Amino acid sequence: MCLFLAGEFSMSSNIIHGVHPTRMELILLQRRRLLAEKGHNLLKEKRDALIMEFFSTLEDIRKLREDVNSALQKAFRSLLEAKMVLGSAKLTELSADLPYSVQIDIDTKNIMGVRVPILKYREEAQGEAIPYNVIDTTAKMDEAIKKFHQATKLIVRLAETETAVRKLAEEIDKTKRRVNALKYIIIPRIENTIVYIQFHLEEVAREDFFRLKRIKATLERKE
């Protein structure tokens, strides 16, 4: 009867297969359940912290995009004004001779276990600070160059922040899956297996009790 009921229980319940219904296995599973519950709580805390960081960084992106758009508008306005004074050909000639180059140093930082990039804008100028004859140009040219460099710095910051948001979103998704797996699959399966073993042990104990009663009754009849 015990084997029949235990088999019926295993077929109708989501349990860990291959587990031996012994007291030692029961103790191990109870410890495993405590660890799984602790891990579930820690992952929930991590998920919530990541979500808070994600929305905070999203707000930074919104502000940075506004700043980038504003900086580019100002830079192109200054460029257009310089073009109106110098002419298209002269402006193209001056632009081609500009010796400035931009270097991006890449580092990383850790946010709740997520490695996100840090982009450091480094501007390098070769030769003279002003690589053209200021008499032949206009102050609008200087202004346009300055504003484009400012816009470039903001674009680098925006790229850094958007990459951080993408990585945070990926980690949030992974953490959510792990939280759900623990809550809806692993912990219920452990609990069902614990119930199954307890049921099996109770059935064995009842069978042993009735067997001892029959043996005792038989011995008493013989006496």
What does the DSSP assignment read for 57-102? HHHHHHHHHHHHHHHHHHHHHHHHHHHHHH-HHHHHHHHHT---EE
The residue range of the domain holding 201 is 30-216
Q: Considering the entire predicted model, what is its pTM? A: 0.73
Q: What is the CATH number of the domain that holds 144?
A: 1.10.287.3240
Overall number of domains in the chain: 1
- Measured distance CA(217)–CA(221) in Å, rounded: 6
Residue 173 within a domain: yes
Residue 16 within a domain: no
Residue 12 within a domain: no
Residue 175 within a domain: yes
Structure tokens at 112: 């709740």
Residue 20 within a domain: no
Residue 6 within a domain: no
Cα 71-152-136 angle, rounded to 5 deg = 80
Residue 23 within a domain: no
Residue 58 within a domain: yes
Tens digit of each residue's pLDDT, the chain (223 residues): 444 344 444 444 588 888 888 999 999 999 999 999 999 999 999 999 999 999 999 999 999 999 999 999 999 999 898 888 888 887 777 776 666 667 888 899 898 888 988 988 876 654 445 555 555 667 888 888 889 889 999 999 999 999 999 999 999 999 999 999 999 999 999 999 999 999 999 988 888 778 787 877 777 777 6
**115-137 per-residue burial string, b: 16 or more CB within 10 A, e: under 16:** ebeebebeeeeeeeeeebeeeeb
